[in-house]
């Protein structure tokens, strides 16, 4: 587990500044959700925390380490994307074990972690199946399992449910809540779904044009939006 701290984080692609100075402190074990209109920089901010993008200026800390110069694999994070390509020729078990094998984790430890993750995600019965023999929800669980087995200090989720149908999204929303209650690991979660944000978040961060408009507990944002943008965005059913 770890806290995450962003100090005046900026990110430009060429001449275009996408993150315009983001300051944020996320507590150890907190579930923080980023929302904001398409193109406002949610994914870029997550990727900058992950180390998939390099901050142009500013500081990114995870735990007690400044991680700006660390590669993604050294940051103690695991990330799950919307498009969570599994290896089609591997079973669910092998998909989850693969990264640990590459990291030379010993077999008994791999087995312990994969079975614990499968248990937490209710996919124990599907471990021998290949992706094409699984439903969308089961595949997404395997993708989450791949992140869990790494036992990261921080999980980063970029719209992990947006490729699933509505009913499954609702079910998986509860799975995330349960997972967080069980693992108690810091989670940073991007979504464009207001209900998802309201249900899951300890705090919601509203982004707009590469800046934070407001940070607060769901009910605070709902009842006391800082400005018209937040009021319009949080209030709108999308
Ligand atoms: P969001 O996830 O909130 O929809 P993104 O972080 O993906 O937004 O993108 C924010 C802005 O940065 C967009 O205008 C996008 O076109 C731009 N952008 C993202 N990645 C790159 C890149 N690698 N090169 C150039 N522009 C990018
Ligand atoms: Mg995005």
The predicted model scores a pTM of: 0.94
Residue 68's pLDDT is 97
38 ligand 1 Cβ < 6 A = yes
Measuring from atom 19 of ligand 1, which residue has the nearest CA? 44
Tens-digit pLDDT string for the chain (238 aa): 689 999 999 999 999 999 999 999 999 999 999 999 999 999 999 999 999 999 999 999 999 999 999 999 999 999 998 877 899 999 999 999 999 999 999 999 999 999 999 998 889 999 999 999 998 889 989 999 999 999 999 999 999 988 888 888 888 898 899 999 999 999 999 998 888 999 999 999 999 999 999 999 999 999 999 999 999 888 765 4
Residue 82's pLDDT is 81
DSSP string, the chain: ---EEEEEEEEEETTEEEEEEEEEEE-TT-EEEEE-STTSSHHHHHHHHHTSS--SEEEEEETTEE-TTS-GGGTTEEEE-SS-PPPTTS-HHHHHHHHHHHTT--HHHHHHHHHHHHHHTT-GGGTT--GGGS-HHHHHHHHHHHHHTT--SEEEEESTTTTS-HHHHHHHHHHHHHHHHHH--EEEEE-S-HHHHHHH-SEEEEEETTEEEEEE-HHHHHHS-SSHHHHHHHHS--
ipTM of the complex: 0.98
Distance 18 CA to ligand 1 centre (A): 7
Measuring from atom 21 of ligand 1, which residue has the nearest CA? 13
22 ligand 1 Cβ < 6 A = no
């Amino acid at each position: 587990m770890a806290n995450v701290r962003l100090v005046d984080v900026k990110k430009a692609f060429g001449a275009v500044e996408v993150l315009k100075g983001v300051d944020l402190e996320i507590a150890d074990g907190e579930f923080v959700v980023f929302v904001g209109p398409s193109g406002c920089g949610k994914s870029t901010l997550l990727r900058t925390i992950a180390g998939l993008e390099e901050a142009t200026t500013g500081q990114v800390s995870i735990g007690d380490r400044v991680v700006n110069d660390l590669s993604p694999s050294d940051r103690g994070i695991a990330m799950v994307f919307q498009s969570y390509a599994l290896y089609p020729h591997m079973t669910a078990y092998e998909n989850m074990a693969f990264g640990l094998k590459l990291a030379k984790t010993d077999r008994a430890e791999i087995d312990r972690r994969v079975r614990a993750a499968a248990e937490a995600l209710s996919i124990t019965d599907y471990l021998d199946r290949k992706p094409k023999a699984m439903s969308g929800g089961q595949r997404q669980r395997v993708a989450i399992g791949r992140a869990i087995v790494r036992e990261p200090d921080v999980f980063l989720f970029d719209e992990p449910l947006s490729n699933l149908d509505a009913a499954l999204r609702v079910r998986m929303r509860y799975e995330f809540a349960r997972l967080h209650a069980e693992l108690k690991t810091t989670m940073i979660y991007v979504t464009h779904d207001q209900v998802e944000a309201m249900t899951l978040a300890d705090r919601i961060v509203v982004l707009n044009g590469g800046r934070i408009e407001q940070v607060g507990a769901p009910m605070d944002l709902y009842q006391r939006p800082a400005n018209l943008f937040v009021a319009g965005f949080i209030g709108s059913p999308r």
